[in-house]
Amino acid sequence: MIREWIGAIGLSLMATHALAADPIEVGIGYLRHAGVKSTLSLAAQPAENDGVAGALLAIEDNNTTGNFLNQHFTLTELRLKEGDDVTAAANKLADHDGTIVLDLPADEVLKVADTLRDRGTVLFDAGSIDDRLREQDCRANVVHVAPTRSMLADALAQYLVWKQWKRWLLVSGSHDNDKLYADALRRAASRFGAKIVQERTFQDTGGARRTDSGVTLIQRQMPVFTQEAPAYDVLVAADESEVFAAYLPYRTWDPRPVAGSAGLVPTSWDASHDQWGAVQIQNRFLKQNSRRMTALDMQAWTATRVIGEAISRTNSADPKTVFSFIKGKDFSVAAFKGTRLTLRDWNLQLRQPILLADGRMVVSVSPQEGFLHQVSELDTLGVDRPETKCKLQ
């Protein structure tokens, strides 16, 4: 009895010593450009901390678990000013952070990935939706948390086809990103059985959009632009450049719904999302930031939580160990979307449901019922394994 009592004291002392040991310090970098892109709607202007606010909330969540596991997480944000060298900034972060969350354009993601490839730094793309980063230009050290254009387009197409709105009038902008989104929508239409009855291009002629385009002018311009179209069920807009799509709802010549870049919009997150415990994170984010959570906030939150989940499961801050676990079959992360998210091992893209929102409510969530897959229904969204052009290296 005395021996058992002494043994219990020994175990208690060992546990106390373990708790008293220095915690595992985990530094996560966050690299983005200073400033934010303006939108047509004054009510939808992004905040200066768009994205990074989500990462900071995830740091708080990581530390809640870390308090029990003797782990401590910190976030180092670095904002690029005009003319700054993105590779120099990435190297600076990599000097003390083994993982970095990126909110950068595709070309800069590639520069950072190639610069840090031999340093063992693991990168998490939270901002770029370019499919080429997961396909012909994929890199073996970049995990993609942001959904791709093809995932967004497929999510929208599934719902429109489910609604039997199969005849589309496709209107795309004149900028490169608009054309990429239009390509994704064409692919989605072909994939799920919709028909594009006609395509039109809205040319960006420049000018101050708010001062040069009053309500009266817009009210006259949009009906004329959309008239004399073949019979169609829905107007699908590809306007990532924020030039015209927001002006389309309620102004088309024919009384038709609008989807894509306005109206019914596919997105990774929406401030109105309230299912699967989402109200909890929405309220915490609102309390912490005095604003609503955006898609970029959620993508950054998810990237930071992926890191935290892997470190808590492996009890290691070693980037190689963390990366191996994330790529393994035992990894998943909860993100208030009704299912745990996992990683596609062929291109390092995070599988995830896509919300379809109208600006005030979530209308639906894709993948839609009836779109089946032999591995995961989530793989009906975006480029599947047999289609991939990615060769990780």
Mean pLDDT is lowest, of 15-29, 193-207, 242-256, 372-386, for: 15-29
Which DSSP string do the residues of 202-259 spell out, in sequence order?
E----S-HHHHS-HHHHHHHHHHHH-SPPS-SEEEEE-TT-SSGGG-TTTSSS---EE
pLDDT at 294: 97
pLDDT tens per residue across span 42-89 = 888 899 999 999 999 999 999 999 999 999 999 999 999 999 999 999
Q: How far apart are CA 389 and CA 223, in angstroms?
A: 41
35 versus 159: which is more confidently predicted? 159
99-103/167-173 β-pairing? unpaired
Q: How confident is the model at residue 16 (pLDDT cuts 50, 70, 90)?
A: very low
Nearest Cα residue to 236 out of 292, 286, 181, 288: 181
Average pLDDT over residues 259-288: 98
Residue whose structure tokens are 């999302």? 273
Residue 214 reports pLDDT greater than 90: no
pTM of the entire predicted model? 0.92
Q: Determine contact, residues 77/322, Cβ cutoff 8 Å.
A: no
Structure tokens at 31: 């690299």
pLDDT at 205: 79
Structure tokens at 69: 């596991």
122-125/142-144 β-pairing? parallel
pLDDT tens per residue across span 146-196 = 999 999 999 999 999 999 999 999 999 999 999 999 999 999 999 999 999
Share of the chain above pLDDT 70, in %: 92
Domains in the chain (CATH in brackets) are 2-147+270-352 (3.40.50.2300), 150-265 (3.40.50.2300)
Average pLDDT over residues 285-300: 98
Average pLDDT over residues 30-36: 93
pLDDT at 207: 61
